[in-house]
Structure 1
Amino acid sequence: MCVCVYSRFMNNRVPSHRRYQPTEYEHAANCATHALWIIPSILGSSILHLLSDDQWETISAWIYGFGLCGLFIVSTIFHTISWKKRHHRTMEHCLHMFDRMVIYFFIAASYAPWLNLRELGPWASHMRWVIWIMASVGTIYVFFFHERYKLVELACYVVMGFFPALVILSMTNRDGLIELLIGGVFYCLGMVFFKSDGRIPFAHAIWHLFVAIGAGVHYYAIWRYLYRPNEHMLEVKISK
């Protein structure tokens, strides 16, 4: 009985060199779990832009906003095409590659406000451009080795996700560190489901939810500690 229920919602696992094919239910869940966050991500990015007080805050808000919105938009488009246009294999393959590439730039964009707006030590300031080199290398890797070495790809995401966090050791102001850690924990827990297609029903959709929660926690930290005007600034603006 349990096997029959599982087979309705989940297909069997595939070899490491092939991509898992979701069931109809999983396709729908994959689309919905990221489509729901497109409008909130656009609104959230707009709020940061409105709160920006100088050029660097504006630039950082744009970079972060494009990365955040791009992640959910590209993921939704890919999963929709994969579901409804399965006979367009070339288009589906290209969008799948693009979906994986966007993750690297999302990670870089998520770090951008912290690296651009916080005071960093001399050695850590190089991370402002190193993070984008890492994203570019990850993109090139996907272009040439997409779906060939899945564990290597996963390791690349983990390294890029945690290596730039080392710069917090040079920050004089460490407000937001707890939120950054909590968001990172959600991403890590989600990776368990990211690699569980064919073992756990709706595994990829669950991974999407962990990504959304992690992104939400990180957005809150950016808004609260980097963009939210403090009481003194509010009093100055009101007095004017």
Structure 2
Amino acid sequence: MRARTENAHKHEMDLKKTKLGRFMNCRVPASKRYQPTEYEHAANCATHGFWILPSLLGGSVLYFLSMDQWHRVAAWLYGSGLTGLFVTSTLFHTAAWKISHLRKVEQRFHMCDRMAIYFFIASSYSPWLMLRELGPWACHMRWLIWVMACIGSMYVFFFHERYKLVELLGYVAMGAVPALVILSMVDRAGVCELAVGGVFYVVGVVFFKSDGLVPFAHAIWHLFVAVGATVHYYAIWRYLYVPGPLLQTSR
């Protein structure tokens, strides 16, 4: 009876694997990296590669809307971080798809991809920290956030993929701590959009950890990142860069 049950379970798993084999591989232990299918590889590349050109154009728009030096620096930092995220992610997933046999090369791309996330978070906060009036202590976050990005990158360099949960918590902490500082702004216009974008990132993490459970889970995570970044870009453009007369007219 027990053997029959085990055989039935095995048959059910084999059937499931046959149906989803093209779209999802079996889940792997936390200590190993999930291997996407050919379709998942293509989706991983496309879902971030598509946003490279829009991020370049978006950063350029902010730069040309800049009213002074600080606006230009903030636009350059934000545009570089935004574009850098999509470029490094696309390069890594392309390497993982096409040259996975070159393990050391793929590993370097993966490390750059993880490091880019820290600098993307820092650059996303920079316009708000640089262009809005902050409290006497909160203003130190303008440079502390870049220190955090450097520390996170050093962690990736020395302990890449060794403690995955610690790395995930590092990203979440870096995304949450500066948000508390933003609340000290005298002008809080745009905070609602920041919160909405943050929700997309947080919900997306569920899919980030669902490889082998949900087909195209990582590509779905990419889409959540893209939507969150789009909402944040809109908030930066709308509340920090749109000229005063246009802003007043649109209200």
**Residue 168 of structure 1: how far off its partner (Å):** 2.2
4+ residue stretches of structure 1 with deviation over 3 A?
232-235
Identity rate of aligned residues, in percent? Answer: 67
TM-score, normalized by length of structure 2? 0.91
Q: Name the TM-score, length of structure 1 as normaliser.
A: 0.95
Instruction: Give the secondary structure class of the aligned counterpart of 2:141.
Output: helix
Q: 2-side partners of 1:6 and 1:146: how far apart?
A: 30
Which string of whole-angstrom CA distances, capped at 9 and with x for unpartnered residues, describes residues 25-74 of structure 1? 00000000000000100000000000001000000000000000000011
**Alignment partner, residue 215 of structure 2:** 201
Query: Does residue 221 in structure 1 map to residue 235 in structure 2?
Result: yes
Rounded to whole Å, the distance in 1 between the matches of 2:247 and 2:150 is 38
| Offset at residue 230 of structure 1 (A) | 2.1
Aligned-partner Cα distance in 2 for 1:6–1:141: 36
AA matched with 2:151: V
Q: Does 1:192 align with 2:202?
A: no
Q: Does the CA-based 8 Å contact 2:95-2:106 persist in structure 1?
A: yes
Counterparts of 1:38-57 in structure 2, within 5 Å, are: 38-57=52-71
Distance (whole Å) between structure 1 residues aligned to residue 100 and residue 142 of structure 2 = 40
1:154 corresponds, among 168, 171, 180, to 168
Query: Which range is displaced more, 78-87 or 61-70?
Result: 78-87
Q: Distance in 1 between matches of 2:140 and 2:205?
A: 28
| CA positional deviation for 1:3 | 3.8
Structure 2 unaligned segments of length 5 or more: list them. Answer: 1-14
Unpaired runs of 5+ in structure 1?
236-240
The yes-or-no answer on 1:60 pairing with 2:85 is no
**1:81 and 1:45 mapped to 2: Cα distance?**
26
1:37 aligned residue: 51
Q: Shift of the alpha carbon at 1:7? A: 2.3
1:23, 1:233 → 2: CA distance? 47
Give the counterpart letter for 1:121 in structure 2.
G
How many pairs does the alignment contain? 235
Tell me the secondary structure at the aligned position of residue 170 of structure 1.
coil
2:128 and 2:182 in contact (8 A); partners too = no
Equivalent residue runs for 1:164-183 within 5 Å: 164-183=178-197
CA shift, 1:233, in A, is 8.7
User: Hey, what's the Cα distance between the residues in 1 that align with 2:31 and 2:115?
Assistant: 18
SS at match of 2:143: helix
Q: Does 1:69 pair with 2:117?
A: no
Partner in structure 2 of residue 4 of structure 1? 18
Query: Against the structure 1 CA distance between its residues 6 and 122, is the aligned structure 2 distance closer, same or farther, given a 3 Å change threshold?
Result: same
